[in-house]
Each structure stands twice: as C-alpha cells, then as structure tokens.
Amino acid sequence: MSIAQYIDKIWHSTQFREVVRFGIVGCVATLIQYAIYYLFNQCIGWGATTSLTIGYIISFVFNFFLSNYFTFRTKPTVKKGIGFGMSHGINYLLQIVFLNLYMWMGLSEKFAPIPMFLTVIPINFLLVRFVLKSKRL
C-alpha cells in the first residue's frame, strides 16, 4: 500500500471523521465555556471556580446534543444523558482540579483555563465516546 493510498484510507475512515467532528464540537463548546468564564470572571469579577461552573453548565447542554447528533451520529436517550452527565461530572472535576493547579503554579485566572482545557479534553473524548457509542445505553 502506498503512502497516498494509506492517507486516503485514513481520510475516509469513520473513526477519523468522528475525531474531526469531535474536534469541531469540542472547540465550539470550549469557546462557549471560555467566553462565559471570561465574562463572569474578568468582566463581572466572580471567582474562577464559579465562573468556570456557569460556563460548563451552558456548554454542557450544547455539547450533549451536538455530540449525539453530529459527532457520534447517535440518538440522545435518557440513559445516554445520564452516562454523558456522569462522564462530564468526571470531566468537570478534572477541570476544577487542573484550573486551580495552574493558578497555584502562577498562571493568572485569565489564562489558566487554556492549559486546563488542553489537559482534560483528550480524557473527555475517551469518556464521552465510550458512553455514547456503548451498545448497552
């Protein structure tokens, strides 16, 4: 198999397209979350954890529906909603821990979410994919 054929095979694979769609939804959800975090933290002056939580809740709803319909091409169900919520509960806790860790390391509240997102997004992808693609849910 030539390199061109291998690249073509990857480009047309379901898993690759799934990762690309996840990236699109994840980027938009992350931008929504950070914009809301920035508004509440930097403009209104609320604390980092409270601001992150508000942004997380709003982006969570957006993310749930787009992850089902667009990313993984599945139908939302109550069971998937519960599993999605549980996986995002883990993700939320990781975000809070890493946000505070990066602020403790000296990053400002304004910029600490950026490395936090880079740390937790790969973990979140694996958790969400497992929940939404599971045949048992």
Q: Does the pLDDT of residue 137 top 60, yes or no?
A: no
Q: Does the pLDDT of residue 136 top 70, yes or no?
A: no
Q: What is the mean pLDDT of the chain?
A: 87
Q: Which residues are CB-contacts of 29 (< 8 A; sequence separation ≥ 6)?
A: 59, 62, 63, 66
pLDDT band at residue 40 under the 50/70/90 scheme: very high
Query: Angle at CA 88, nearest 5°, toward 96 and 52?
Result: 35
Mean pLDDT of 47-64: 93
What are the tens digits of pLDDT across the range 13-36?
Answer: 778 888 888 889 888 999 999 999
Q: CA quadruple 101, 23, 80, 51: dihedral positive or negative?
A: positive
**Considering the entire predicted model, what is its pTM?**
0.78
Q: Does the pLDDT of residue 1 top 80, yes or no?
A: no
85's tokens: 């919520």
The confidence score (pLDDT) of residue 89 equals 87
The confidence score (pLDDT) of residue 68 equals 85
The confidence score (pLDDT) of residue 12 equals 74
Query: Angle at CA 16, nearest 5°, toward 11 and 18?
Result: 135
What are the tens digits of pLDDT across the range 90-127?
Answer: 889 999 999 999 999 999 999 999 999 999 888 877 77
For the chain, how many structural domains are there in total? 1
94's tokens: 């990781």
Q: Among 4-8, 40-44, 70-74, 83-87, whose mean pLDDT is lowest?
A: 4-8
Q: Which amino acid is at 35?
A: A
Domain that holds residue 57: 3-133
